[in-house]
Amino acid sequence: MKTLKKRPIQIYLEPGQDNLLEILSKKRGVSKAAIIRGGIEKILRELPVEEDPAMGLVGLGSSGKGDLSEKHDRYVIKHAASKKK
């Protein structure tokens, strides 16, 4: 059985919105869903940093390293190399 990569969601549009979306989808040669996903992506990219839900992850853990932000690449490489041994 094929697994969906995208989750279905139902929304209600005003008739005018639907008409304009139909015109735009034909003009661009893409589905209405693709245009809606693009609009959502644009909104999410423009979120102020303090409103980004991912920012809630900051500070959840502690490495004990005082220079992690400056030397994170070195620490990642060192960790990856130790896993290969």
- In a domain, residue 70? The reply is no
Domain count of the fold of the chain? 1
Domain of residue 22, residue span: 11-56
Q: Which pLDDT belongs to residue 42?
A: 93
Q: Which pLDDT belongs to residue 37?
A: 95
Work out the number of other CB atoms within 10 angstroms of the CB of residue 25: 16
- In a domain, residue 1? The reply is no
- In a domain, residue 22? The reply is yes
Ordered mean pLDDT values, 10 residues apiece, the chain (85 residues): 80 96 97 96 84 73 77 83 77
Q: Which pLDDT belongs to residue 85?
A: 64
How many residues in total does the chain contain? Answer: 85
- In a domain, residue 52? The reply is yes
- In a domain, residue 2? The reply is no
